[in-house]
Amino acid sequence: MSPRSKQPSRLSLARLDTPIQRLERLASGLGLKADLYFKRDDMTGVALSGNKVRKLEFLLAQALEIKAPAVVTCGGIQSNHCRATAVAAANLGLGCTVVLRGEDPGPNALGNLLLDQLVGARIRWVTAEEYRERRGEIMLEEARRWTQDGIEGYVIPEGGSNALGSLGYVQCAHEIAAWSEETKTDFDVVGVAVGSGGTLAGLAAGWAKYNVKGELWGFPVCDNNAYFEGECGRILTDMEGYVPEASEAKIRLIDAYKGIGYAKSTIAEERFLQKVARLSGLILDPAYTCKAFLGFCEEINSGRWGENPRALFVHTGGLYGTLSRSWTIHEAP
């Protein structure tokens, strides 16, 4: 088999296809000048939910293939990716260590961290500096600690964002293309949050492979456009062995909506999250989807994509991050 036609194995972990829903009341309540739709990737599952599940279908298939006794990954204290990995590992009977940036809150764990603990993941706490400088090394160290029959734990990079994991979002692009074809509904613009780049890179490769209509735009919640052009470019180059069209993929980014820092919310963002919840029952998360959807709405109303575009937002999940803190409710019911 030529390396260009290599088809990696895949597990079935996510509830697919996720629905695409039209949200007229939300659009009018927000004063949005668009025909708005959501791709509900927050509905890939329950404890095992959000965008990371699509990536884990490929990554964990490889871990099982090499008979790894465990998986090791990393992220922030409220990492959705770490939680999804820990839950999936428990589901498959694999061990799991999550390398978390932050301090152990002792018995006060909430949200994603609480789920990490409930499913029995080992947690290695590291400082922000250790995380920045040595997370790769630390993950390898943890992987070695799981060694069984000479096989170490399988290391998954931050966010599951490598070429293999990002294939999960080529599949998502296929679902969007198939839905458009079936309903004769093309989008003018599609928006998604960007945290480590794999979701956007996978979608962009899928856009090229399936000729999906409409411009795809990513909204970084950390770092900046230049950083993610580099990251997504690197992932796309590595993906060419699986998806040759990845070489033609286009990465478009708007980094103006990161706000006051990673996973920190302004009052305006808190109000926006609450308004969306009240108008639609859809729960955004403070670190990713709130910032990205707010940016998407502002750019739509600025006319960047013309008058009244048909707009799709990919809701990538993050509910447990929303449940990891207390909230001031800004408007009385």
Ligand X SMILES: Cc1ncc(COP(=O)(O)O)c(C=O)c1O
Which residues are near ligand X by CB under 6 A? Answer: 50-51, 80-81, 159, 161, 193-200, 285, 288-289, 316-318
- From the list 53, 41, 288, 289, the residue with the least C-alpha distance to 168 is 53
Q: How far apart are CA 36 and CA 309, in angstroms?
A: 8
Shortest distance, CB of residue 188 to ligand X, whole angstroms? 22
Q: Which residue has the tokens 């109000």?
A: 271
Query: How many other C-beta atoms lie within 10 A of the C-beta of residue 155?
Result: 19
**Least distance to ligand X, CB of residue 81, Å:** 6
- CB neighbour class for 161 (10 Å; exposed up to 12, middle 13-18, buried from 19): buried
The single residue listed with the structure tokens 């465990």 is 70
Which residue, 95 or 317, is less far from ligand X as judged by CB? 317
* Lateral strand order in the sheet of 70-76: 122-126, 95-101, 70-76, 154-155
Report residue 22 as tokens.
Answer: 């039209």
In the set 5, 49, 79, 324, the catalytic residue is 79
- When the beta carbons of 95 and 168 are compared against ligand X, the nearer one is 168
110, 140 in Cβ contact below 8 A?
A: no
- Least distance CB 67 / ligand X (angstroms): 27
Q: Which of 265, 277, 292 is nearest to 331 (CA)?
A: 277
- Residue 79 annotated to the active site: yes
Q: How far is the CB of 138 from ligand X (least distance, A)?
A: 19
Select 97 or 289, whichever has its Cβ closest to ligand X. Answer: 289
97 or 316, CB closer to ligand X?
316
Q: Which residue is nearest to ligand X (CB)?
A: 195
Q: What is the set of active-site residues?
A: 79
